[in-house]
Structure 1
Amino acid sequence: MPRSRISGGFSAPTIDVFVDLGHPFLNRTFDGFLKIGAVGASRVAAEEAYYSISKGTVSKHRLEHTLKKMCKEGALWGTVAGLYVGMEYGIERVRGTRDWKNAMIGGAMTGALISAASNNNRDRIMVDAITGGAVATAAVFINYIT
């Protein structure tokens, strides 16, 4: 029986911004902050655009609210990403090797620090640390697969 197969690819345009802060740790941390902060702000912009279109109205007040929400979410997402990237890089430098364990430890430490900063109890901090480590490790393994 004859078979046919279609293969193709998709490539998104890339925009790369580099700010040299004089140290690789600072460069990576700031890069993570900018890139993921932009993702968080874009998510809010898309969500708010959908709500405005579905309601059929756009007002100055709504635009101001959207801009404030974009800044807040961008800063939050960027802070978490910058903290994670900095932790992972620091652990890589301390351990002297680059592998999935750095992501696991960096994710766990980031989850614990963000949770502790939110005034959570010990059990919640542990759960967030485990979640951060698991998500970071899974992301590294998925990156190896593709």
Structure 2
Amino acid sequence: MPRSRFSGSLTTPKVDVAIDMGNPLLNLTVDGFLKIGTVAATRVVAEDAYHALRKGSISRNSLEHTLKKMCKEGAYWGTVAGVYVGTEYGVERIRGTSDWKNAMIGGAVTGALISAASNNGRDRVVTDAITGGAIATAAVFLNYLT
């Protein structure tokens, strides 16, 4: 059974958290889940805070709604990121090379899996696979530019 360890450090302006599950695949998957899940939850807080300020009031009901939405969005986007990172790492290990093709395959597999899990039709699953592969590949190419 893998051991888990949690450690972190805070240096301005970067927060670095390291998670050791005893396996690189699990480490990367959990790291992707936590990072993107946190971003999604933070987006919900910012969006709902804006709407509360516009409305001019905050109720207990709206706070509960925001908390539920944070959990739902954080879990959804965290899962997508975890699947993508894990898939890309697996493809890299299988192929034995690190290049843009791993991102493309990882994005396509992730898009197809998430779409299929949402009970979409075959055409939509294929479209989402193409979209996932294109977005992941574009992200890698944009990283090469910077």
TM-score (norm 1): 0.91
Q: Aligned pair count?
A: 135
* CA displacement at 1:82 relative to structure 2: 0.3
Aligned AA for 2:19?
V
**Structure 1 gap ranges (5+):** 1-11
Q: Is the partner of 2:65 in helix, strand or coil?
A: helix
Runs of 4+ in 1 over 4 A off after TM superposition: none
C-alpha distance in structure 1 between counterparts of 2:50 and 2:77, whole Å: 21
C-alpha distance in structure 2 between counterparts of 1:60 and 1:17, whole Å: 32
Q: Is the partner of 1:19 in helix, strand or coil?
A: strand
Residue in 1 that maps onto 2:54: 54
Q: Is the partner of 1:15 in helix, strand or coil?
A: strand
Alignment deviations for residues 30-81 of structure 1 (CA, whole Å, 9 cap, x no partner): 0000000000001100000000000000011111110110011000000000
Residue in 1 that maps onto 2:102: 102
Residue in 1 that maps onto 2:81: 81
* CA displacement at 1:18 relative to structure 2: 1.2
C-alpha distance in structure 1 between counterparts of 2:89 and 2:13, whole Å: 27
Kindly report which structure 2 residues correspond to 1:28-67, keeping only aligned pairs within 5 A, or say none: 28-67=28-67
Task: Please provide the CA RMSD for this pair.
Answer: 0.8
Aligned AA for 1:79?
T
C-alpha distance in structure 1 between counterparts of 2:82 and 2:14, whole Å: 20
Q: For the pair shown, which has the larger CA radius of gyration, 1 or 2?
A: 1
Give percent identity, aligned residues only. Answer: 72
**Structure 2 gap ranges (5+):** 1-11
